[in-house]
Structure 1
Amino acid sequence: MLDTLPTSEKPAIGTTRQGLRQRGVLGLSADDIDFEKEVVHVRRQVKMVRAKLCFALPKGRKVRDVPLPSSVARAIRQHVEQFAPVPVTLPWDDPPPAETPVEAKHRRPRTYSLLVTGRERKAINRNYFNSYVWKPALATAGVIAPLEEGSADGARVWEPSREHGFHALRHFYASEELEAGESIVSLARRLGHSDPGFTLRKYSHFLPRAGARGSAAIDAIFA
């Protein structure tokens, strides 16, 4: 499905190989990528508050580092060579004008050179991304039906695709990491979960072959 995306949007998909949430992917800056140490610093997200965009800490205020796979590093390098990071300035945490000096200090605009921006070289609204990038890619790949006339007034609507939403890529990352034998504690840290038990409860059903590994281990001991 990656091949169906506009070139400028591919890193938004590629970085989910690290389990980032969509808003965290859209908030990644060039300075967050450490190619030498092979890590990505998850420091912020682009979120919407009362129909306006702003920067904020990641969900749950979980600032963290996640490994940078070589395949993702290559995709990011190629993207940066073709599309230079764009400096974007947004308020911090809450867009409306501050009413007190303390609020003004906290909400002061901050500038980051984002890896992925829209046509107007601004931060991407995730609703725009879902409607004009993600769902068209799903349709082109044959995952959902193409856009059709959906009502008597001629409105064009996409087939509902909750189970195929952008967040499904995060689920895929988690399930593959667990299937490969990654520690649930390490995975929880990478996903930004405060409780590894939550991570296990949420993703254990993605492990249909997990029991077979345990049996194989016992067989190997007594063989």
Structure 2
Amino acid sequence: MAVDDLWYLSRRDPVTDERRPSKRHGRGKRWRVRWSDPNTGETRTALFERKAEAERHDADMRSDISRGRYIDPRAGRLTVAEYAEQWRAQQLHRDSTADMVERAFRLHIVPVLGLLPLGDARASHIRGWVKATTENLAASTVHLVYSYVKSMFAAAAADKLIAASPCVGIRLPEIGDRDYFVPEPEQIHRLVDEIADRYSPIPYIAAGCGLRGSEIFGLELDHVDFLAREIHVRQQLKRMPGQPAYLGELKTRTSRRTVELPEVAQLALARHVERYPVREIAIEDRTDPRNVHERRARLLFLTSHHRPLHRSNWSTVWRTAVRRAGLPAGFGLHGLRHYFATLLIHNGAAVKTVQLALGHSSPMITLNTYAHEWPDALDRTRALVDSALGARPTGVVSEARS
């Protein structure tokens, strides 16, 4: 490492012993700092106008290299958009998650932060981005998108592209209580009456078994045990934009489960199979990432053209039925899953029971979503304590001290 004066030659005049000016004397920055990159061994340089600045930079480089904290100044020149592409490519995301992350960066992150060099990013930039994003997105979505930004900058710091992440001390909008509509039984029956006949068991499966929409669309005939009155959830039907539908892994490890089949859903399914005999179709099976292959599947629900159901071709069918049934606009199939959960809770089901029935990855997710559905929990707690300790008689304290 060294600090060079570029305005003068290093060799002095042999006669006068004075330093001779170089060809660039009086032009450009005068002081150059040279050091060896400890990671690659390549020579790095930086130019400064003042000697004091150059010496300070030289000292910083020496200190960072000796302490193992060296960051190549050129690494931080990568823009957020450029590094985001690298970061996303390295993540072990499932297809649906990868698609969601890609859309988050493309729609909400890159338009604001994309041109910013990584090394120039400061907490003030992130705070400004959060404020701007909060004006257009729900608080829960801001939290989700911010988690991608934070993970990306943490990776950049771990890769020593930047000295530290700017995502420090960032205040996010508070997430209010989730307000979702839970239908009455009569409304569910009306929804069944209004939906296309070939899909009529779907609301009963969602409301009576708690399955996600993609899990229902991925059901095969062999997954239903009519005698034992059980449904074995083993896969889900997924579709990425511009690609054919396929059978994929379930959302979480605990999503693989066996749920009880209530009579109303059992009868609806039996009638459905009788009226719409199951046909085999060819579909790609990605349930095991190590063995992706095409196979014949006997899906319970297909379109009238014998194609798999997915969000795109299902949405119009569902919205029409919701409107005709008089349910709130925007009410989704997931709302029937909420019905199932609240039905269990209000009839005394424990958190763990609800978690397993819904296939949540942890009880905490169940609690975070449905904590307010256990309204009598505090009353039961008070009753248990009162039953154990009773009421302390008046005068016990004074008598004990006398």
Larger Rg over CA atoms: 2
Q: Please state if 1:51 is matched with 2:218.
A: no
Question: 2:297 aligns to what SS in structure 1?
Answer: strand
Q: Please state if 1:170 is matched with 2:362.
A: no
The one-letter amino acid of 1:197's match is M
Change (3 A) 1:80 1:199: same
Displacement, 1:197? 2.2
Question: Any conservation in 2 of the 1:20–1:191 contact (CA below 8 Å)?
Answer: yes
TM-score (norm 1): 0.78
User: Higher relative CO (CA 8 A, sep ≥ 6), structure 1 or 2?
Assistant: 1
Question: Any conservation in 1 of the 2:192–2:201 contact (CA below 8 Å)?
Answer: no
| Cα-to-partner distance string for 1:106-149 (whole Å, 9 max, x where unaligned) | 2211222111100111111222211x2110011111224xxxxx
1:5 to 195, 217, 238: 195
Percent of counterpart pairs with the same letter?
28
Question: Any conservation in 1 of the 2:286–2:293 contact (CA below 8 Å)?
Answer: no
Displacement, 1:79? 0.9
**Paired position in structure 2 for 1:30:** 221
Which structure 2 residue ranges, 5 or more long, are not aligned? 1-190, 391-402
Question: 2:219 aligns to what SS in structure 1?
Answer: coil
1:20 to 211, 234, 252: 211
**Paired position in structure 1 for 2:351:** 184
Question: Any conservation in 2 of the 1:11–1:116 contact (CA below 8 Å)?
Answer: no
1:116 to 284, 291, 301: 301
Change (3 A) 1:119 1:183: same
Change (3 A) 1:114 1:66: same
Question: 2:200 aligns to what SS in structure 1?
Answer: helix
Q: Please state if 1:64 is matched with 2:262.
A: no
Displacement, 1:86? 2.1
In structure 1, C-alpha distance between the alignment counterparts of 2:266 and 2:279, rounded to whole Å: 19
Change (3 A) 1:108 1:142: same
TM-score (norm 2): 0.45
- The count of corresponding residues between Structure 1 and Structure 2 is 196
Change (3 A) 1:22 1:108: same
Alpha carbon RMSD of aligned pairs, Å?
2.6
Question: 1:109 aligns to what SS in structure 2?
Answer: strand
The one-letter amino acid of 1:199's match is T
Which structure 1 residue ranges, 5 or more long, are not aligned? 95-101, 145-158
